[in-house]
Amino acid sequence: MKAYQRCLAVTLLLGAATMCAAQPQPAGELWSVQKNGKYGFIDHTGKVVIPFQFDRAYGFYEGLAQVIKKNRTYFIDTTGRTLFEAPYDVIGNFSEGVCAVNIGEKRNPNIGLVMEPGKWGYIDKTGKMVIPMKFTHAEEFSEGLAAIEIGGQGGFIDHNAKVVFEVPLDVTLHFHEGIVGVLYRGSLAYFDRTGKKISPPLGYGPNNHSFSEGLVPVEIKGKTGFMDRTGKIVIEPQFVQAEDFSQGLAAVRVHSEETTWCPPEPSGSRKGFTNKWGFIDKTGKIVIPPQYESVDNFSEGLAAVNNCNEAFFIDPAGKKIVLGNFTFASSFLGGISRVNVGMNRDTQWGYIDRTGKWIWGPTAEDK
């Protein structure tokens, strides 16, 4: 039963995302790319700095990245030097100097349901086990604490593995701005670092957001507004959906009586949308009118938006900035954006810089 609850919890927290995905990796790190079936890494200029040699490669976190060679997992640094092998069944990302790892977890291969949790512990950047494998659930550290479960009891530990406070949990959203969202049996609640619960208003429903710039989107009776750190609703629930604040603006989705119709597909089919995305400020005022099919958060002064297989960027005033002929784009991070060109089987992807210059691709190979 617990395995089912955890699977459902992950679905509720992560499966509802509607914003553009596939963001680049954190600024200052390297990006994994593929060529001729092998993976390597490029920097923000597109220069190959770690040659194509891996069967699979994942993003850098705190200067380390997971790579796979001949079915064995290793961690490398930004020079490509192999630091240590990681012989675990499940491996997280490094955060605050440690990484959660698991031995023994078994999942249903068809639906991903955890059938046996195995044991979790934490390793440091040398591969040494620094927190023993004794947990049946463990998440990455954020703001000095990490969610765990042991003996059927959930809670948060510090870097010394000391339990700071206990709370029933399935999964969490990690600490942001001193507050963590905890999902348990389909209900989401927020707690501060002492374990004190921030009481939500009556009718509050689960969502998949953390506090950002002092506010968090909350759903009340089918509409979404924003709550502050005291549990007070400061922007009344009125939106179909809302995303986190970033650079003073938050994306919101509203229902329109007018349908925006997209150009016909080659097959003759034609799609349209009535729920449209725009942006509000922290007073709840709409500052960029709802008109987009999908959007990404503002980052580095621009937000990627997508309409009918056309992708471009807007500035905080809503001005359209076209950097190329894209069918998908993500907001800039570290000075680059991941974009797609073409559709369906002809889709190619790559990275562009802020001038619209391709620094990698486009290529038909999957990332």
Q: What is the pLDDT of residues 320-333, one digit of tens each?
A: 999 999 999 999 99
Q: Which among 121, 129, 94, 128 has a CA at the least distance from the CA of 105?
A: 121
| Structure tokens that stand for 335 in this block | 């000075």
| Alpha carbon distance 103, 100 (integer Å) | 11
| Alpha carbon distance 328, 279 (integer Å) | 19
| Alpha carbon distance 75, 77 (integer Å) | 7
For residues 84-108, give the mean pLDDT: 96
**Residue 163, CB half-sphere, CA atoms under 13 Å: how many?**
11
**What local confidence, expressed as pLDDT, does residue 208 receive?**
74
| Alpha carbon distance 350, 367 (integer Å) | 9
The DSSP output letter for 5 is H
| Structure tokens that stand for 69 in this block | 């060679």
CA 302 to chain centroid, in Å, comes to: 18
For residues 202-220, give the mean pLDDT: 81
The dihedral over CA atoms of 358, 363, 365, 367, expressed in degrees to the nearest 10, equals: 10
The answer to whether 249 touches 294, Cβ cutoff 8 Å, is no
**What local confidence, expressed as pLDDT, does residue 207 receive?**
65
User: For the chain, what is the mean pLDDT?
Assistant: 89
330-341 pLDDT, tens digit per residue, is 999 999 999 999
**What local confidence, expressed as pLDDT, does residue 203 receive?**
58
Does residue 194 register a pLDDT over 60? yes
Q: Find where tokens 């725009």 sit.
A: 278
Concatenated DSSP letters of 90-130: EE---BTTBEEEEES-EE-TTT--EEE--EEEEE-TTS-EE
Residue 270 one-letter amino acid? R
The answer to whether 313 touches 321, Cβ cutoff 8 Å, is yes
| Alpha carbon distance 147, 209 (integer Å) | 17
20-60 pLDDT, tens digit per residue, is 334 445 555 899 999 999 999 999 999 999 999 999 999 99
| Alpha carbon distance 120, 138 (integer Å) | 6
Residue 168: pLDDT band (50, 70, 90) is very high
